Amino acid sequence: MAAYTLGELARLVGGHVIGDDCICIEGVATLANASPQQISFLANSRYQYQLSETRAAAVILSESELPQCRVAALVTANPYISYARIAALFVPTSAKQQGIHPAAFVSSDAVIHETAWVGPNCSIEAGVTVGANVRIGPGCFVGENSGVGADSLLVGNVSLCHGVHIGCRNTIHPGAVIGSDGFGFANVQGEWLKVPQLGGVVTGDDVEIGANTTIDRGALDDTVIEEGVKLDNQIQIAHNVHIGAHTAMAGCAGVSGSTRVGRRCAIAGGVGIAGHLEIADDVTITAMSLVLKSIREPGSVYSSGIPAEPNRPWNRRLVHFRRLDEMAARLKSVEHQLGTDINKQEN
């Protein structure tokens, strides 16, 4: 079991200790559930009331929260980032395996680095290249002429279709499908003709792709996910989309074909982005918003979702909504009448 003194953790994150810096820390936990051997954190003021009751050995917090803390404190400028770095020390690690499991199929034409691991029931097709220290978990499929960069992890039941190239240090969670055909069809006299999807998918380094997320291959050019992008679970990325570096997207978001999303964007859950649009760098789009036009101003914030509210007031508002046309016509009539009266007075 890993264990660190509070002083060692402070040096790791560039913070300072208030209290005993020799306290032994053996794990991380929430303020409400931490034990005297664990460290917790306070990054959201709504949980400040738990400071007085926590049993944690120490709490990571900002200077402004220090007066309410009754246990040892690790003071940092950004408690959440400090927590993330400390929590990484306590992630359980299993013994590293190398080689190919007997229950895996690997084409004789595939190149698997000697330090890589291919788990049971995997299928690795011809022309595949798997880099150093890659972990391909059970049940994964890697299609022809695809590549997986060094130190990447395919957790399990991940499908990489043909012509997919994964960067280094990627993490791809169970059920993700990368490189399936894009939704390309042409209407011919009321029937749908399939348009061949001839491109691939390319991801940069340090990308994370959540469970059951799908990224379609390009129609001609590749679909591109740049370095550092973080995609949550159950996201749909359509063909020829380009996601800029270090953009993060929350669950159930969807991006339609040929849209370009800028760098460092934050796209919340349930957002829908129409096709052939341009989203500038550093844009934030709040939950359940529908984007139908390009957003060209860097750093802007867009919202269109309607937050839930109690049913009775919502029903009243819905009645007004249904009468908008009538109300607009009445307002226009009043404005016209007022304008006529003013003109008469001036004349």
DSSP line for 242-286: EE-TT-EE-TT-EE-TT-EE-TT-EE-TT-EE-SS-EE-TT-EE-
Tokens of 17: 């200790």
Phi and psi at residue 26, in whole multiples of 5°?
-115, 5
Domain 4-90 is classified in which CATH homologous superfamily?
MurE/MurF, N-terminal domain (3.40.1390.10)
Give the pLDDT confidence score for residue 289 in this predicted structure.
97
Tokens of 45: 């003021």
The per-residue pLDDT for 342 is: 58
- Please list the pLDDT of the chain residue by residue as tens digits (347 residues): 689 999 999 999 999 999 999 999 999 999 999 999 999 999 998 999 999 899 999 999 999 999 889 999 999 999 999 999 999 999 887 778 899 999 999 999 999 999 999 999 999 999 999 999 999 999 999 999 999 999 999 999 999 999 999 999 999 999 999 999 999 999 999 999 999 999 999 999 999 999 999 999 999 999 999 999 999 999 999 999 999 999 999 999 999 999 999 999 999 999 999 999 999 999 999 999 999 999 999 999 999 988 889 999 999 989 988 999 999 999 999 988 887 665 655 55
**How many residues in total does the chain contain?**
347
Domain 99-302 fold is UDP N-Acetylglucosamine Acyltransferase; domain 1 (2.160.10)
The Cα–Cα gap between 290 and 242 comes to 18
Q: What is the pLDDT of residue 335?
A: 87
Bridge partners of 165, per DSSP, are 147, 202
**Residue in the block written with tokens 């016209």:** 336
User: Where exactly are the structural domains of the chain?
Assistant: 4-90, 99-302, 312-346
Q: What is the pLDDT of residue 96?
A: 82
The pair of three-digit structure tokens given for residue 274, joined into one six-digit string: 């129409």
Burial, 145: exposed, middle or buried (Cβ in 10 Å; 0-12, 13-18, 19+)? middle
CA-CA distance, 218 to 307, in Å (whole number)?
Answer: 35
Q: Which residues are catalytic?
A: 239
Cα-based torsion angle of the residue sequence 245, 249, 254, 259 in order, rounded to the nearest 10 degrees: -20
Cα–Cα dist 153/133, whole Å: 9
CA distances from 27 to 1, 240, 282 (A): 9, 43, 35
What is the layout of strands, in order, in the sheet containing 72-75? Answer: 16-18, 72-75, 58-61, 38-41, 27-28
Amino acid at position 73, single letter:
A
Amino acid at 274: A
Cα–Cα distance measured from residue 184 to residue 294, given in angstroms and rounded to the nearest whole number? 22
User: pLDDT at position 92, please?
Assistant: 83
